[in-house]
Amino acid sequence: MTLVAILSGAGISTDSGIPDYRGPNGLWRRDPGAEKLVTYDSYMTDPEIRRRSWRMRGDSPTLRAEPNAAHRAVHELEQSGTAVRVITQNVDGLHQLAGTPVRKVLELHGTARSVSCTGCRARSSMKEALDRVAEGEEDPRCLVCGGILKSATVMFGERLDPDVLAQALAIAKACEVFVAVGTTLQVQPAASLAGIAADHGARLIVVNAEPTPYDDRADEIVREPIGTALPALLKRFHHS
């Protein structure tokens, strides 16, 4: 059976109302100071950065977003009986909300739907933490040990979970088709997965509005809007 690996980046979620951080109108270009809010050292050492981060999370569209046609198309591919694995750079959880089984989604950069304690590693829901912020706790602490809480995402200055990365590498080496969708393929080590898949004989398909460093390795490049292009593309791989 054909194994289809899908590497998804911010571009797959823009139709759900989640902004692209690195694009031409992305948050990091509009407000360079915002990057400090998700930089580990700044977050851990500056209480004001943490307070601003919690306010930003409360205003973020991420937790209110709903899956769009592209997320649903991935789920439909999986439902058709095709072997599918999703490797996502996104932290929004929309692949799972669309119905793709949690065990088939690797979140390279963690999830914004949970919080973790930087001390004891206890995890709890982001909603619970944001409810505490709404009730007046500007910098909520871990209820288990009193440690600093952070979003269960990989911040700048933190390394990726080595187990998750190892699984992603194994999928890139084993798949017959590798679809990179809505990603600039510029952030390592995620971007290198496209090249690794191609090196191991996978058909590489890039679905992205802008050129990527891996376009010259691609068997197919799709520049159309993801919301319509990805469903049409994935239908070709439905297991009949």
Give the separation between CA 34 and CA 171, rounded to whole angstroms. 33
Give the separation between CA 206 and CA 189, rounded to whole angstroms. 17
Task: Give yes or no: 238 in active site.
Answer: no
Give the separation between CA 119 and CA 225, rounded to whole angstroms. 43
Annotated catalytic residue, options 71, 75, 95, 109: 109
Contact 99, 75 (CB under 8 A): yes
CB contact set of 59 (below 8 Å; sequence gap of 6+): none
Which residue bears the tokens 């050129």?
Answer: 211
Give the separation between CA 168 and CA 170, rounded to whole angstroms. 5
CB contact set of 137 (below 8 Å; sequence gap of 6+): none
Strand 123-125 relative to strand 110-117, pairing = antiparallel
The beta-strand segments (E) located in 35-148 are 83-88, 105-107, 110-117, 123-125
Going 220 to 222 to 227 to 232, the CA torsion angle's sign is negative
The pair of structure tokens assigned to 219 is: 């068997």
The residues annotated with a catalytic role in the active site are 109
